[in-house]
Amino acid sequence: MIAWVIPIALGLFSLGMLFCLYRLAVGPDIIDRVLALDTLMINGIAVIVLADIQMALGIIFEAALLIALMGFIGTVAMTKYLLRGDVIE
Amino acid sequence: MRLEVILPIFIPLIAGTLSVVVWRSTFYQRWIAVLGTAALLASGLWLLSAVRAEGHVVMQMGNWQAPFGITIVADTLSAVMAVLTGLMGLVVAIYSLGSIPASHERFGYYPLMHLLLAGVAGSFLTGDLFNLYVWFEVMLLASFALLTLGGERAQMEGAIKYVTLNLFSSAIFLSSIGLMYGMVGTLNMADIADKLSEVEHTGMVNVLAVMFMVAFGIKAAAFPLFFWLPASYHTPRVAVSALFAGLLTKVGIYALYRMFTLIFNGDVAYTHTILLWSAGFTMVTGVLGAAAQFEFRRILAFHSVSQIGYMILGLALYTPLALIGGLFYVIHHSLVKTCLFLISGLVYRLTGTYELKELGEVYRHRPGIAILFLIAALSLAGIPPLSGFFAKFIIVRAGLEIGAYTLTGIALAVGLLTLFSMIKIWAEVFWKAAPEGMDMERLKAPVNDSHGRFMLTGIGILIAGILLLGFWGQPVIELFEVMAEQLMNPEGYIEAVLGGEQ
Amino acid sequence: MQLALIILVPLLGAFAPALRRRDPVWRLALFAGLPALLSFSLLLSLLPQVLAGEVLVYQWDWISQLGLSFALRLDGLGWLFATLITGMGTLIIAYARYYFEGKATSGRFYSLILLFMFAMLGIVLSENLLFMLVFWELTSLVSFLLIGFNWHSQGARRGARMSLVITGGGGLLLLAGLLLLGQMAGSYQLSEVLLAGERIKADPRYPVMLSLVLLGAFTKSAQFPFHLWLPHAMSAPTPVSAYLHSATMVKAGLFLMARLHPAIADTELWFNLVVPTGMLTLMVGAFVAMFMHDIKGLLAYSTISHLGLIALLLGLGTPLAVSAALFHLVCHALFKAPLFMMAGMVDQATGSRDMQRINGLWRYMPVLMVLTAVPAAAMAGLPLMSGYLSKKMLFVESLQVSYPFWTTVVPVWVTLAGLFSVAYSIRIFHNVFYNGRPLDLPIYPPRQPSRRAMAPLALLTLGCLVVGFAPALVYDKVVAMAVNAASGTLVPAYDFSALSVARWPMIMSIIAMIGGALFYLARNPLFAIHSRLPEVDAKNIFEWIVDRAIAYSQRRVYQLENGSLQRYLALILVTTVGLGGWALLRFDQWQGPIALSPVDAMSVFGASVICLAALGVVVFHHARLPALLALGVCGLFVTLAFARFSAPDLALTQLSVEVMAVVIMMLALSFLPQRSPHESSLPRWTRDLTVAGIAGIGVGGLAYAVLTRPVDSISDFFLANAVPGGGGTNVVNVILVDFRGFDTLGEITVLGIAAVAVYAFTRDLHLKERVAQIADEHWVADPHPVILSMVARLVLPIALLVSAYIFLRGHNMPGGGFIAGLITAAALTLQYMAGGLVWAQERMLTQFRPLIGGGILLAGVTGMGAWVFGYPFLTSTFGYFSLPLVGKFELASALLFDLGVYATVVGSTLLILANLGKLMTVAGPGKEIG
């Protein structure tokens, strides 16, 4: 069962990434683009976890963890920039 | 465990880190500067004596045997270059004591200088291709930081061009390393030399050779890749320019020599023909560019490009005598060009400007400095019995011996134009009447204070070196004969590094 | 041994006047004169040996590998010239003592003169060709310094420059020529070269070599068209003109021709090159000399003319011609030098050198007039004078020419030249001392030259008379032996009495003398015609050529080096592509034996996203933030790619660095101009796209070719030895900190340098106000929202925990010091962002620079620790230990190394971030950070 669940899940998350990319390219406002990137990163977490399960490696999970942390920080920086025009005040 | 081969890298590294640690006290930083560079010179001499005794000195980092670990290896060429590094470092350090303003000293001039020397020494002594890249990076960043010290606008413009072009060179270098690894599966230079002969498709090897040539050519300021040099050499403080002129381009030249005698010596007709053309064009563009300039340092910067052409010519001719000539040229040019830059700094201190149009009559009030300049300038132009004459002579002779008449003719013509250019500076700066607005009081002010003495000591050491090289060339040439023989027959190098396993 | 002394004595003597510049002139003259006299006497003492035909050689190796040795040779020819040099030098020094009376610069003058003497002696006494070349260039150099002696005059500077360029250039050509000659002869020693004449002349390179050597000789000896530097060298002080530019240096080229005569002369090519040149020089010099109003100018051109004469004789090549040439050389020196001295005295006495103004000086300087009459007459070639004899010899030789065309031309030509020479010789005597009254002289009445100053002049005049009355004495003893040495043939004693009655030469002489006198009498109308002709100043032409050349090179260089960074990059890429493409032209097989792995949809998707994102950065480049976002996307997908190819360490590193880099870039974003200055034009854009595209495709293709070929790589060793040798199962980390730890040490140094550079750079940087980004911005009022602060405070300990975990497990699982450092840095950055700079700085435990320095030192010291045990740098060790509750774990010394890496990464990243952030603080640059 796992054998066909994972490809379907991967496909769906890829679709999600595609939508995010669309929003990133098109998004009329910069805020839209920032949010699109953040969501893209979340999708990336999912993709990595699924890929690790599929390949049965067991060592890439930390990458997902790191994406979560780093993605958050990146988004915070960008948001701060947009809100205040300054990242570190 | 061979200490002598790692010390030239280690000493400046430690000195730099120590300088960072004692950042607050410029007093200690100055002491570390002089002692550190003196120690570097001493270690270089120790290495040279060891190499003379044994031929090659090898050390494996981390005790992992070649070709898996990183090899630090010194043959005669590397040892001579290490000594050169020490000498240049010491001279510039002494000069800096007198010429670098306190603000720069507080901003980390000395640590950066030490780290630059570490990068240079590392490049000369490493036997591993990726390690070479690492030391190139060290050099690049340290020189970039030195370029921007002071923060003036001209410096920034020059620095941006410098760093962009050099980063581009690093990118090409890294790609080439990647492709090389893909082809032969190893990063150790001796091992690559060994394995490259087994690759069948010379087309691919030649492309790699070209990519390496471009990457190192950018570093060495060959035509048409040299534009970062005249854009940036004249912008920072003179001590920094002098250090760059004496060492930075020589690293590129060394890398070219190493690559194209050790590794890419298969299809000589292809690779060395390109080098010949490049040498010719470099010589001519450099000297023509210099003829169009009227600022002291810019003239010197363009002349550096032109002289690089001679060094590449030595490699391109690819005979033992030509290699001796090329290396002799490297040593001679480092001494002379650094000396000329330092003298221009002294003139600046006395007159406040580098523009030829605003200078004059320095000979009347400062005949001693005029004589120093004349010695260095005539050596650059190739007047006997100074070092430049022998350098040009050997290369011309090597060229005539194998019938490369066009290039020899170009070399001689460029020599004449160099002479003309030096005479122009002499006439404009030292002989002609002082233009209006020149500060004669400053010119006549004494140079005997501590700053002046440091500057003069630095210049004096170099002048002594130039004279020695000219009059006492015999032992140097004997040494270089050994070097040329080692370079033309790289089996000795390969065997020393790989330990005769093959 | 004495040979070495002859040469070295002037050199050593040159130091004394330089060091004792303040001494009175007479003492300096003594210091200078004694060495010259000493060398002269030594030469005289060696005369008997030389006369007997001996050739003395003295040798000392200098650089044997290059064939350069300090080798001296004294034979007849060398003796002749050396005596001329030293003897004339002594007299000139004596003359200069009075010339420099009252001037302070005589010390420099005497040093340079002695230095010149040393160099000139080196040329004539040298046994090694290359050794001679050294002195050749040295004479050019000293001549340059002497011509520019009065450097405050622009004419002197320009004249000096022109002379150095022409003679220096000739010297370079001579270098090439002598190198070829040495190769052809098999040695650079003169003895062997002179014996190899046949072989040299038969060599195919003979024409090239001959042209080069002759060019070198001609430039030095002011032959047409290189004669232009000589008149402009007349801005030198008169003793210099008398010594260098009439008696010695300009004869060096002719000396070379005579010296190498057995080796390279006596061929048709020699005749065809030398004779026309000599003839042209002879005529041009004589003709122009007539119209010169400046005394020294006239003498200069007459010197040129006489040099042409000697060259012509050398070109004719027969032993008699050669002997005539050398005889004339001696005579010329003997009469030209006193004439120059006279010019100097007149100049100092009247303040002018213009012969239109100087007339009728016989009233004021009768002794000088008498003393001048003899050399002038000799120059004219009047009977009973030495010049008469040598002119006759010239006429005789010219009649001997056997080549068809030249048989008639040469005698006519030399007669005509002789006519002109008579004319100007008469002029220089008559115009100066007679010809009416002085007109408008600066110093009037003219000062009397001192008696003692005329002593050297008198001596030389006496010499002229001696040669004129007893030519055989000079000829048989001196000249013949010189010719013997030069051409290797024995020359019989010259029958001077027969010379007087030979028919054709007599006719030619008479024609010349009468014609010259007539020419002189008709001078005024001729001068009028000449003055209406446009003035041609060679210096101006020279300068014009130089200026045009400079302008041309400026344009050319500016085409390439125009300051445009894009152009430089394009040039580099085009070079790479061009050369690489050329190498790949014959490359046919791009795909190697290894088959391609199957392609799955996810990989294609990822790859295309990376390409599109990269393109997006370029397309969006004027909108900064979207461009940064596209860059972020690129980085994210590269991370995914690394994860896909099971390289977790790389994925982790890539992601961390990407985010930190984007944050740093954003810090600078608001200081960038919001609009690009000008977008590239379409052609430019197309060019850039094409070049970049080809380069990218090329590298991609190469990578494809490389990847599809099998290779035995060193990675097998690493995989095999990671655990037994390094003690860790994470091969990547073991490579980083153990196998190739030296690289890592270098890289953290680079990171440290970057941080220090940013620190130094931003210390005192005051940037302009930030550019407003959004048109109607209303910044949110609260700089530190509470939610963010709270969350940040919670994230920090967790992040530190994760960081420690990743650090400790790095050796065996994906992780390591670098990634851990980045995680810590990210977490700390979050604190800076959430709480503000000041708040975070207060709570930061350490300064950053010590952290960086400490990190690098720690890594280095760990490596050095191996030295204690006698192992090379960075040798690692590891062991297994057990702790209660934890169990068995492995501890390696590489852990300390990793700790150093960790510290450096944290310190550098934070130093950069904090300093860049400080720049942007609304409140202005605050306290120093770091």
Task: For residue C568, give the nearest of B162, B396, B276, B493 by alpha carbon.
Answer: B162
User: Residue B501: its pLDDT value, please?
Assistant: 43
Three-state SS at C354: strand
Instruction: Tell me the shortest Cα–Cα distance from C754 to chain A, in angstroms.
Output: 20
Query: Which tokens hold the place of C144?
Result: 């340059």
Q: Chain C residues with CB inside 8 Å of A71's CB?
A: 659
| Subunit contact B384:C761, Cβ cutoff 8 A | no
| Subunit contact C826:A83, Cβ cutoff 8 A | no
ipTM of predicted assembly, 2 dp: 0.91
Partnered with residue B188 across adjacent β-strands are: B128
Evaluate whether residue B106 is within a structural domain. no
Give the span between the Cα atoms of C605 and C601, in whole angstroms: 6
Instruction: Tell me the shortest Cα–Cα distance from B497 to chain C, in angstroms.
Output: 15
Give the span between the Cα atoms of B397 and B406, in whole angstroms: 13
Task: Name the more confident of C420 and B309.
Answer: B309
Cβ(B115)–Cβ(B139) below 8 Å: no
Query: Which tokens hold the place of C484?
Result: 């013997």
Would you put residue B353 in left (φ > 0), alpha (ψ -120 to 50) or beta?
beta
pLDDT single digits (tens) B95-109: 998 888 877 887 888
> Which of C1-15, C305-319, C791-805, C844-858 shows the lowest mean pLDDT across its residues?
C1-15
Query: Which tokens hold the place of B15?
Result: 């000195």
Cβ(C859)–Cβ(C901) below 8 Å: yes
C648 and A CB contact within 8 Å: yes
* Chain C, window 835-894: residues with a beta carbon less than 8 angstroms from a chain A beta carbon: 836-837
User: Residue C488: its pLDDT value, please?
Assistant: 64
Cβ(C930)–Cβ(C847) below 8 Å: yes
Burial group, residue A18, by CB count within 10 angstroms (0-12, 13-18, 19+): middle
**Residues of A at the C interface (Cβ-Cβ below 8 Å)?**
10, 14, 21, 24-25, 30, 33-34, 37, 40-41, 44, 47-48, 51-52, 55, 57, 59-60, 62-63, 65-67, 69-74, 76-78, 80-89
Task: Name the more confident of B184 and C398.
Answer: B184
| Subunit contact C172:B394, Cβ cutoff 8 A | no
CA angle C49, C54, C59 (to 5 degrees): 105
Most confident range (mean pLDDT) of A14-18, B229-233, C776-780 is A14-18
Which of A47, A69, A82 comes nearest C826 by C-beta?
A69
| Subunit contact C137:B384, Cβ cutoff 8 A | yes
Confidence of residue C775 (pLDDT cuts 50, 70, 90): very low
Cβ(C670)–Cβ(A85) below 8 Å: yes
Helix axes B405-425, C154-185, angle to 10 degrees: 160
Evaluate whether residue B261 is within a structural domain. no
DSSP string, C317-332: --HHHHHHHHHHHHHH
* Chain C, window 811-830: residues with a beta carbon less than 8 angstroms from a chain A beta carbon: 813-815, 819, 823, 826-827, 829-830
Instruction: Tell me the shortest Cα–Cα distance from C548 to chain A, in angstroms.
Output: 55
> Which of C197-201, C735-739, C865-869 shows the lowest mean pLDDT across its residues?
C865-869
Region A15-20: mean pLDDT is 92
Checking if the pLDDT of C571 tops 80, the result is yes
Domain enclosing residue B310, as ranges: 287-471
Find the helix or strand (DSSP H, E) in which C857 lies: helix C848-868
Task: For residue C752, give the nearest of C908, C899, C857, C902 by alpha carbon.
Answer: C908
| Parallel/antiparallel/unpaired status of strands C878-883 and C68-74 | unpaired
Q: Chain C residues with CB inside 8 Å of A70's CB?
A: 655-656, 658-659, 826
C713 and B CB contact within 8 Å: yes
Cβ(C35)–Cβ(C114) below 8 Å: yes
CA–CA distances in Å: residue C104 to residues B69, C17, C21, C99, C615 = 70, 12, 8, 12, 75
C18 and B CB contact within 8 Å: no
| Residue B63 DSSP one-character state | G
What count of Cα atoms within 13 Å lies in the side-chain half-sphere of residue C823? 28
- Chains in touch with A (3+ beta-carbon pairs under 8 Å) read C
Instruction: Tell me the shortest Cα–Cα distance from C633 to chain A, in angstroms.
Output: 7
What is the pTM for the complete model shown? 0.89
Task: Name the more confident of C295 and C765.
Answer: C295
Which of A34, A76, A86 comes nearest C922 by C-beta?
A86
Which of B148, B185, B210 comes nearest C579 by C-beta?
B210
Region C860-879: mean pLDDT is 76
Cβ(C214)–Cβ(C135) below 8 Å: no
Cβ(C315)–Cβ(C332) below 8 Å: no
According to DSSP H, which parts of C381-502 are helical? 386-399, 404-433, 454-469, 471-474, 480-487, 496-501
| Subunit contact A85:C646, Cβ cutoff 8 A | no
- Chains in touch with B (3+ beta-carbon pairs under 8 Å) read C
Query: Which tokens hold the place of C20?
Result: 């004792």
Interacting residues of C553 by C-beta distance below 8 A, sequence separation 6+: B288, B289, B291, B292
Q: Chain C residues with CB inside 8 Å of A77's CB?
A: 662-663, 666, 829, 833
Cβ(B297)–Cβ(B354) below 8 Å: yes
- Chains in touch with C (3+ beta-carbon pairs under 8 Å) read A, B
Q: Which long-range contacts (CB under 8 A, 24 or more apart) does C717-724 make?
A: C717/B68, C718/B68, C721/B68
User: Residue C487: its pLDDT value, please?
Assistant: 65
| Subunit contact B62:C872, Cβ cutoff 8 A | yes
User: Residue B40: its pLDDT value, please?
Assistant: 95
According to DSSP H, which parts of C670-740 are helical? 682-707, 715-721, 731-734
Checking if the pLDDT of C924 tops 50, the result is no
Instruction: Tell me the shortest Cα–Cα distance from C656 to chain A, in angstroms.
Output: 7
Burial group, residue C877, by CB count within 10 angstroms (0-12, 13-18, 19+): middle
User: Residue B279: its pLDDT value, please?
Assistant: 93
> Which of C130-139, C495-504, C748-757 shows the lowest mean pLDDT across its residues?
C495-504
Give the span between the Cα atoms of C98 and C20, in whole angstroms: 18
User: Residue C727: its pLDDT value, please?
Assistant: 77
Longest CA–CA span in chain C (Å) reads 131
Instruction: Tell me the shortest Cα–Cα distance from C197 to chain B, in angstroms.
Output: 20
Region C756-768: mean pLDDT is 75
Average pLDDT over chain C reads: 82
How many C-beta atoms lie closer than 10 Å to residue C405's C-beta? Answer: 8
Segments making up each domain of chain C, as ranges: 275-495, 717-930
| Subunit contact C579:B213, Cβ cutoff 8 A | yes
pLDDT single digits (tens) C813-847: 888 899 999 999 999 999 988 888 888 888 887 78
CA angle B260, B266, B270 (to 5 degrees): 75
Q: Which residue has the tokens 């020494």?
A: B121
Q: Which residue has the tokens 């032959």?
A: C223
C659 and A CB contact within 8 Å: yes
Cβ(A10)–Cβ(A54) below 8 Å: yes
Checking if the pLDDT of C289 tops 80, the result is yes
Which of B165, B291, B477 comes nearest C549 by C-beta?
B291
User: Residue B250: its pLDDT value, please?
Assistant: 94
Task: For residue A87, give the nearest of C670, C773, C924, C621 by alpha carbon.
Answer: C670
Evaluate whether residue B189 is within a structural domain. no
Evaluate whether residue B300 is within a structural domain. yes
- Please indicate whether chains A and B are in contact, defined as at least 3 beta carbon pairs under 8 Å: no
Query: How do the pLDDT tens digits run along chain B, 502 residues long?
Result: 678 888 999 999 989 888 888 888 888 888 999 999 999 999 999 999 999 998 888 888 877 887 888 889 999 999 999 999 999 999 999 999 888 887 788 788 899 999 999 999 999 999 999 999 999 999 999 999 998 887 778 888 888 889 999 999 999 999 999 999 988 888 999 889 888 877 766 778 888 899 999 999 999 998 888 888 888 888 888 899 999 988 999 999 999 999 999 888 777 788 888 899 999 999 998 988 888 888 889 999 999 999 999 999 999 998 999 999 999 999 999 999 999 999 999 888 888 888 888 888 888 888 888 889 999 999 998 888 888 888 998 999 899 888 888 888 899 989 988 998 898 888 888 888 777 777 777 777 777 777 888 888 889 999 999 988 888 888 888 889 999 999 988 888 888 888 754 3
Most confident range (mean pLDDT) of C471-475, C574-578, C709-713 is C574-578
User: Residue B502: its pLDDT value, please?
Assistant: 38
Closest-approach residue (CA) in chain C for A27: C626
pLDDT single digits (tens) B283-340: 998 988 888 888 889 999 999 999 999 999 999 998 999 999 999 999 999 999 999 9
CA torsion sign for C144, C145, C149, C153 is positive
Task: Name the more confident of B103 and C904.
Answer: C904
Give the span between the Cα atoms of C257 and C279, in whole angstroms: 16
CA angle B147, B151, B152 (to 5 degrees): 100
Partnered with residue B58 across adjacent β-strands are: B73
Q: Chain C residues with CB inside 8 Å of A23's CB?
A: none
CA–CA distances in Å: residue C752 to residues B13, B67, C458, C906 = 12, 29, 81, 10
Give the span between the Cα atoms of C862 and C854, in whole angstroms: 12
Which of C651, C773, C829 comes nearest A60 by C-beta?
C651
Looking at this protein, which amino acid is placed at residue B111?
P
Interacting residues of B134 by C-beta distance below 8 A, sequence separation 6+: B122, C743, C746, C747, C750
